[in-house]
Amino acid sequence: MKELFKKHSGLKEVRFILAVGSGKGGVGKSTLCAMLSLALRETGYYVGIFDLDFYGPNVGILLGVEKERPLIEFGKIKPVITEGIKILSLAPFVSEKEGIFMRGPMAQSLVRELAEKTEWGPLDFLILDLPPGTGDIFLTVLDLIPLDGFILVTTAHKLALSDTKRTYNLLKENKVPVLGIIKNMKNLWKEGEEWEAFLNEEKLNCLLEIPFLKSFSEKENLKNLTEVLEVKEILKTLSNKILEKVFRIH
């Protein structure tokens, strides 16, 4: 059913669809999506990012294209392209002076419409930047889009981990392949016993531990940071880990 939807939608030429999510807000999902896109692109893959956080669309800021509008022609949407990375986000259509009003059913139909009408073209990886939690957008994605891998991002803080566990259980119930978990801003929170216990119990891999990077708090456009030594190293490890996992599963 989901494969059929993919075949008849703008996703038809995408090899792997990876989702990045967490139960918790503000743990670095969008940052990780931008990092992963840069890392995979650097390795030579064709990559796109689908910003599904309709209420807080900010992937464009992280890649310096927040004002560029996707082209809409004959009912089809052409993503914005920067450094060879294709990006679709609602941000350029909504002024920061306005709040975003969108009730569940509208968000659900927008997920479907954007997935159907966006011309991604041939891509190796499409990365879905999900909103926090497991609400309407998250559930519609699970219903509609065949995911080749889900990357959980969280901090080690007990609150974030608690929400992440819930999200993980939902993914498990829905048989979504979880590639592993990324611990972000690792030096800011001390890891409690429950971290190791959760990973052991679920036989989950901690794919990567990312420290709090000062450069990220100074510059928001990550394209300008790829040559910073510590960022460069993290991007390399990130793409290696994700590629290893994806190609092992598929």
Ligand X SMILES: Nc1ncnc2c1ncn2[C@@H]1O[C@H](COP(=O)(O)OP(=O)(O)OP(=O)(O)O)[C@@H](O)[C@H]1O
Residue 89 binds which entry of ligand X, Mg ion, none, with Cβ cut-offs from 5 to 8 Å by kind?
none
Part in contact with Mg ion (CB under 5 A); list of ranges 10-18, 24-32, 39-47, 232-240:
24-32
Least Å from the CB of residue 105 to ligand X: 22
Query: HSE of 57 in the Cβ direction (CA atoms, 13 Å)?
Result: 24
Q: Write out 75-94 in H/E/C secondary structure.
A: CEEECEEECCEEEECCHHHC
The alpha-carbon radius of gyration of the chain (Å, integer) is: 17
Specify the DSSP class assigned to residue 118. B
E strands, the chain, where?
14-21, 47-51, 71-73, 76-78, 80-82, 85-88, 123-129, 149-154, 178-184, 206-210
183 binds Mg ion (CB under 5 A): no
Least Å from the CB of residue 241 to ligand X: 16
Residue 134 binds which entry of ligand X, Mg ion, none, with Cβ cut-offs from 5 to 8 Å by kind?
none
CB nearer ligand X, residue 16 or residue 189: 189
30 binds Mg ion (CB under 5 A): yes
Letters for 47-66 (x = contact with Mg ion by CB under 5 A, - = none) are ------x-------------
Binding site for Mg ion (CB under 5 A): 29-30, 53
